[in-house]
Amino acid sequence: MAAQIDLHCHSTISDGLLSPEDLVAHAAKSGVKVLALTDHDDVSGLKAAREAAPRHGIQFVNGVEISVTWKRRTLHIVGLKIDSENIALRNALDRVRIGRDERAQEMAAGLAKVGIAGAYEGAKAIANQSILTRSHFAQFLVQNGHVKDVKSVFKKYLVKGKPGFVDHQWMSLEEAVGLIRASGGSAVVAHPGRYDLGTINMLLLMHEFRSYGGAAIEVVTGSHTPPQYQQFAKMAHRFSLKSSIGSDYHGPGLSYMAMGCVPELPVSCVPVWDDWPEAQYLD
Ligand code: AMP
Ligand code: MN
Ligand code: MN
Ligand code: MN
């Protein structure tokens, strides 16, 4: 059976295709009962999603997905049940978003060097007021015929060593976990199976994350294969971390997994929502 809880997805506030309201409606139609919206480095969609939730029978949970640099790699840390009005968190996310704009200009300069002009303006037009992410550059490059689809565009232009990649310094792991906790939230390592860390660094990450007060890791996510569900269920147990579930839905055609199709956690897992009032009526 599919899980009725989804604690990771994106709206037009970051790189998703649906507005916060439409995303809540879509989640409800897909059988989701408890939903967290987790836009990249931005909490400004939470109010609209929260207001829409009761109209669709959804229990809404505040969320954010913070970009972090750890050992020169980019990791994503999800914050759940954060206070979206918390000043320290808001200020820190403001800084990250300013950094995103500078990075986008550098990315465009890199693409210009290989003959692709106007990428900053093009990506910005697609982003339409939202933060600028690599997804928007990907869509610009596809729409302008530089590659055939969003999958190949990352490999060709937007990953390390390619012309549109910029090695950016995001927030530190300690700061991200600290801000999430200080705003009343629970910190969760997003899609741990996606980072090419190697065994030692993965164990170091879990240890360090736990030492800062991290709460959980995503065990079931659109980015993991079924064997990885088992692998990370064991990892969570080993480090006494709770487990989370999320589709990482970005919209039709932009997602690894549809909403409402995310498998349940392995039974050995302690859910990150085990003491949440929002989740008490889940079947
Ligand atoms: P950014 O935070 O600006 O680096 O953008 C990262 C976003 O790009 C992710 O959240 C995904 O939505 C998307 N993304 C990253 N890598 C890929 C990939 N290989 N294929 C498709 N989308 C990707
Ligand atoms: Mn994204
Ligand atoms: Mn992510
Ligand atoms: Mn995500």
pLDDT at 31 over 80: yes
Q: Say yes or no to pLDDT of 122 above 80.
A: yes
Task: Please tell me the least confidently modeled range out of 91-105, 115-129, 169-183, 253-267.
Answer: 253-267
Q: Which of 34-38, 147-151, 212-216 has the lowest mean pLDDT?
A: 147-151
Residues 6+ apart with CB under 8 A from 202: 192, 195, 235
| pLDDT at site 225 | 96
Ligand 1 atom having least distance to the Cα of 133: 3
Residues paired with residue 63 on neighbouring β-strands, in sequence order: 80
- Residue-level pLDDT at 68: 98
| CA–centroid distance, residue 14 to ligand 1 (Å) | 11
CB atoms within 10 A of CB 275: 9
Supply the pLDDT for residue 255: 74
> Which-ligand-closest: CA of 170?
1
Q: Are 162 and 156 contacting, i.e. CB atoms less than 8 angstroms apart?
A: yes
Residue written as token pair 């986008």: 104
- Is the pLDDT at 247 greater than 90? The verdict is yes
Nearest CA to 78 among 191, 203, 231?
Answer: 191
Do the Cβ atoms of 8 and 247 come closer than 8 Å? Answer: yes
Q: Which atom of ligand 1 is nearest to the CA of 103?
A: 3
DSSP 240: T
Q: Using CA positions, which residue lies closest to atom 9 of ligand 1?
A: 135
Provide the pLDDT for residue 254.
80
pLDDT, the chain, mean? 96
Ligand 1 atom nearest residue 151's Cα: 20
Beta 216-221 vs 242-246: how paired, if at all?
parallel
Mean pLDDT confidence for 94-102? 96
Please state the rounded mean pLDDT for residues 234-261: 94
- In the predicted structure, residue 253 carries a pLDDT above the cut 90: no
Query: What's residue 133's pLDDT?
Result: 97
Domain ranges of the chain: 5-93+169-281, 95-158
Q: If you measure from the C-alpha of residue 221 to the centroid of ligand 1, how many angstroms do you get, rounded to a whole number?
A: 15
Q: What is the reported pLDDT for 281?
A: 85
Q: Which residue has the tokens 């990907």?
A: 138
Residue 151 confidence class, pLDDT cut points 50, 70, 90? confident
Kindly provide the b/e burial profile for residues 158-170, where b requires at least 16 CB atoms within 10 angstroms of the residue's own CB. beeeebbbbebeb
Query: How far, in Å, is the centroid of ligand 3 from the Cα of 217?
Result: 12
95-158 and 5-93+169-281 share a CATH fold:
no
Phi, psi of 38 (to 5 degrees): -130, 65
Instruction: Judge: domain 95-158, CATH 3.40.50.2300.
Output: no
- Separation of alpha carbons 251 and 20, rounded Å: 11
With contact defined as beta carbons under 8 Å apart, do 34 and 58 qualify?
Answer: yes
Ligand 1 — pocket residues by CB below 6 A?
A: 15, 40, 67, 133-135, 150-151, 154, 250
pTM above 0.95, yes or no: yes
For ligand 4, a single-atom ion, which residues have Cβ within 5 Å? 65, 248
Q: In this structure, how many other beta carbons lie within 10 angstroms of the beta carbon of residue 21? A: 17
Secondary structure (3-state) at 216: strand
Ligand 1 pocket test: which of 154, 160, 256 has the largest number of ligand atoms within 8 Å of its C-beta? 154
CATH level 2 (architecture), domain 5-93+169-281:
Alpha-Beta Barrel (3.20)
pLDDT at 256 over 80: no
Beta strand 59-70 pairing with 34-37: parallel
Taken in order 184, 188, 189, 191, the sign of the CA dihedral is: negative
Q: How large a percentage of the chain has pLDDT more than 70? A: 100
The terminus-to-terminus CA distance of the chain in angstroms comes to 11
